[in-house]
Amino acid sequence: MTVYRAEFPEKLRFLFEPHRYKVLYGGRGGAKSWSVARALLIQAAKAPLRILCARELQSSIAESVHHLLRSQIAEIGLEGFYEVQNSAIHGRNGSEFVFAGLRNNVTKIKSFEGIDRVWVEEAQAVSKGSWEVLIPTIRKEGSEIWITFNPELEADETYRRFVADPPAGAAVVHVNWDDNPWFPETLRREKDELKARDPDAYRNIWEGRCRAALDGAIYARELRVAQVEGRIGRIVYDAARPVHTFFDLGWADSTSIWFAQSIGSEFRLIDYYSNSQLPIQHYIGALQERGYVYGTDWLPHDARARTLATGRSVEEIMLAAGRRVRIVPDLSIYDGINAARTVFNRCWFDEHKCVEGLQGLRRYRYDVDPATGGFSGRPLHDLHSHAADAFRYFAVAAEDDRPGGSARGIRMRGWRT
Ligand SMILES: Nc1ncnc2c1ncn2[C@@H]1O[C@H](COP(=O)(O)OP(=O)(O)O)[C@@H](O)[C@H]1O
Ligand SMILES: [Mg+2]
């Protein structure tokens, strides 16, 4: 028999009971990650289990919980039992821990067979699309989905799905620092300091309450108005009008595409698509698959750069595929944001097809300057910012196409057809 030593906060006893979903959410330092790591290591030592450790994006194993699991193996004295490899952890009884990113990783996620436990860490960032692929994949008898996160917005998919309206069979527990008997002194100092300086941020970061809006959210007001005016809802594709697309290009970063129609004075954002680490041919396929009648594909400036791999630029490849392509004028981010604010009150969004794009817009925010603790003038570049980048290109093209609106001397034909 394997001997181990581990203790858990009282509130987390349920980790050792069977539940289809185990949801741990709350502020920092609540012992969520440590407890889940330990509970899984102990359970997988008692019986052979296949465990998938997932997060929304994982471009390397260093971003996963691999490191945490390894240190917990030592802490609870299971070094003799587990063999830690670079990309997996194996138990002597056949138990196995594997690691993967969820976003746009359908094939890989579906290829994991016979998973007994999934641990989704940092789950506040998990998108609707990812949950919809993951959940049906975990279908083995008795399998469980464990979810840990620090909430941000009430509108976030994970919060809505597992806290606001949890599914049958979910055990949902709110844990904070004061549930953690081993809450470290260094964290206590950080916590008290934030409480004195910024009570709103404190409530979110340490008490695990949702924020009303993200600090520094760039389009907070515009999105609120759109919601109140009913411009985020079901939008019907008008087959008599062309659909224009607006791309932000990336490889490791996502490529993001908005699909828009210009109808009267309205812009209808009817669809959104993003993916990563795929060649441009993939996105051309994604456009064709949707079967819209297309107008112009608007690309950012970097679409002109030739890639080393193909010797051709994205623009050339798209033209060769018979697409009608234009390059968006190269405005500063600042001008782009202003253009977006200007067109925002004419925009209607399909809330289902554009769910990820809207999530990106809600989270588009200014970076915090580490020197001053205030917001810098630069938007944060993160996994959500690509939707906002593509939206800026849309706005720049739309703005410039006002009747007589070639304010910058660039007349863009092809957008309003
Ligand atoms: N079972 C435990 N035994 C000893 N210390 C613990 C235990 N669980 C948590 N801690 C301490 O609490 C800290 C915060 O735990 P962590 O799991 O990282 O919290 P959360 O994931 O909720 O932010 C850890 O860094 C560790 O110092
Ligand atoms: Mg944690």
- For ligand 1, atom 27, name the residue with the nearest CA: 184
Q: Tell me, yes or no, whether 175 and 224 share the same domain.
A: no
Q: Tell me, yes or no, whether 46 and 123 share the same domain.
A: yes
Please give the average per-residue pLDDT across 237-247, as a whole number.
96
Q: 400 pLDDT exceeds 90? A: no
> What residues flank ligand 1, with Cβ below 6 Å?
7, 28-35, 180, 182-184
Q: Tell me, yes or no, whether 140 and 228 share the same domain.
A: no
Please give the average per-residue pLDDT across 385-389, as a whole number.
94
Q: Report residue 311's pLDDT band, with 50, 70 and 90 as the boundaries.
A: confident
Q: Tell me, yes or no, whether 165 and 247 share the same domain.
A: no
Q: pLDDT averaged over the chain?
A: 90
Q: Tell me, yes or no, whether 179 and 244 share the same domain.
A: no
Q: Tell me, yes or no, whether 18 and 144 share the same domain.
A: yes
Phi, psi of 149 (to 5 degrees): -165, 160
The answer to whether residue 409 sits within a structural domain is no
* Half-sphere exposure for 380 (CA within 13 Å, toward CB): 20
Q: Tell me, yes or no, whether 130 and 277 share the same domain.
A: no
Q: 211 pLDDT exceeds 90? A: no
Distance from first CA to last CA of the chain, Å, rounded? 74
- For ligand 1, atom 8, name the residue with the nearest CA: 31
Report the pLDDT value the prediction gives residue 281, as an integer from 0 to 100: 94
Q: Could you tell me the distance, in angstroms and rounded to a whole number, from the CA of residue 179 to the centre of ligand 2?
A: 14
Ligand 1: which of 24, 28, 34 to mutate, most ligand atoms within 8 Å of CB?
Answer: 34
Q: Where are the alpha helices (DSSP H) in 138-279?
A: 157-159, 185-197, 199-205, 220-228
Q: Could you tell me the distance, in angstroms and rounded to a whole number, from the CA of residue 337 to the centre of ligand 2?
A: 34
The answer to whether residue 87 sits within a structural domain is yes
Q: Which CATH number goes with the domain that contains 132? A: 3.40.50.300
The answer to whether residue 412 sits within a structural domain is no
Q: Which CATH number goes with the domain that contains 273? A: 3.30.420.280
Please give the average per-residue pLDDT across 11-23, as a whole number.
96
- Report which ligand 1 atom has the smallest distance to the Cα of 37: 17
Ligand 1: which of 15, 75, 180 to mutate, most ligand atoms within 8 Å of CB?
Answer: 180
- Nearest ligand for residue 27 CA: 1
List, for residues 265-285, the tens digit of each pLDDT value.
899 999 999 998 889 999 999
Flag whether the pTM goes above 0.85.
no
Please give the average per-residue pLDDT across 86-97, as a whole number.
97
- For ligand 1, atom 4, name the residue with the nearest CA: 182
Report the pLDDT value the prediction gives residue 409, as an integer from 0 to 100: 32
Range of the domain at 259: 220-397
Q: At what angle do helices 333-344 and 385-400 cross, to 10 degrees?
A: 70
Are 99 and 88 spatial neighbours (Cβ–Cβ below 8 Å)? yes
The answer to whether residue 352 sits within a structural domain is yes
User: Domain total for the chain?
Assistant: 2
- For ligand 1, atom 17, name the residue with the nearest CA: 31
Any idea what DSSP says for residue 63? G
Q: Tell me, yes or no, whether 164 and 252 share the same domain.
A: no
The answer to whether residue 415 sits within a structural domain is no
Are 82 and 126 spatial neighbours (Cβ–Cβ below 8 Å)? no
Q: Could you tell me the distance, in angstroms and rounded to a whole number, from the CA of residue 377 to the centre of ligand 2?
A: 29
Ligand 1: which of 4, 182, 185 to mutate, most ligand atoms within 8 Å of CB?
Answer: 182
The answer to whether residue 308 sits within a structural domain is yes
Q: 233 pLDDT exceeds 50? A: yes
Q: Tell me, yes or no, whether 226 and 152 share the same domain.
A: no
Q: Tell me, yes or no, whether 234 and 304 share the same domain.
A: yes
What are the tokens at 8?
């858990």
Are 56 and 127 spatial neighbours (Cβ–Cβ below 8 Å)? yes
The answer to whether residue 244 sits within a structural domain is yes
- Report which ligand 1 atom has the smallest distance to the Cα of 34: 17
Report the pLDDT value the prediction gives residue 415, as an integer from 0 to 100: 53
Give the total residue count for the chain.
417
Q: Tell me, yes or no, whether 180 and 240 share the same domain.
A: no
Q: Report residue 81's pLDDT band, with 50, 70 and 90 as the boundaries.
A: very high
Q: Could you tell me the distance, in angstroms and rounded to a whole number, from the CA of residue 237 to the centre of ligand 1?
A: 50
Please give the average per-residue pLDDT across 85-110, as a whole number.
93
Stronger pLDDT, 373 or 352, i.e. the higher one: 352
Report the pLDDT value the prediction gives residue 373, as an integer from 0 to 100: 67
Q: Report residue 107's pLDDT band, with 50, 70 and 90 as the boundaries.
A: confident
Stronger pLDDT, 27 or 411, i.e. the higher one: 27
Q: How far is the C-alpha of 17 from the C-alpha of 374, rounded, in Å? A: 45
Q: How far is the C-alpha of 274 from the C-alpha of 14, rounded, in Å? A: 37
Q: Report residue 417's pLDDT band, with 50, 70 and 90 as the boundaries.
A: very low
CA of 143: how far to CAs of 11, 33, 34, 210, in Å? 22, 20, 21, 29
- Nearest ligand for residue 208 CA: 1
Tell me which residue has tokens 């917990």: 72
How does strand 347-350 pair with strand 266-276? parallel
Q: Tell me, yes or no, whether 145 and 29 share the same domain.
A: yes
Report the pLDDT value the prediction gives residue 309, as an integer from 0 to 100: 74
The answer to whether residue 191 sits within a structural domain is no
List, for residues 123-164, the tens digit of each pLDDT value.
998 998 899 999 999 999 999 999 999 998 888 899 999 999
- Report which ligand 1 atom has the smallest distance to the Cα of 9: 1
CA angle 207, 180, 159 (to 5 degrees): 40
Please give the average per-residue pLDDT across 333-354, as a whole number.
94
- In DSSP terms, which residues pair with 262 in a beta bridge? 267
Q: Could you tell me the distance, in angstroms and rounded to a whole number, from the CA of residue 15 to the centre of ligand 2?
A: 16
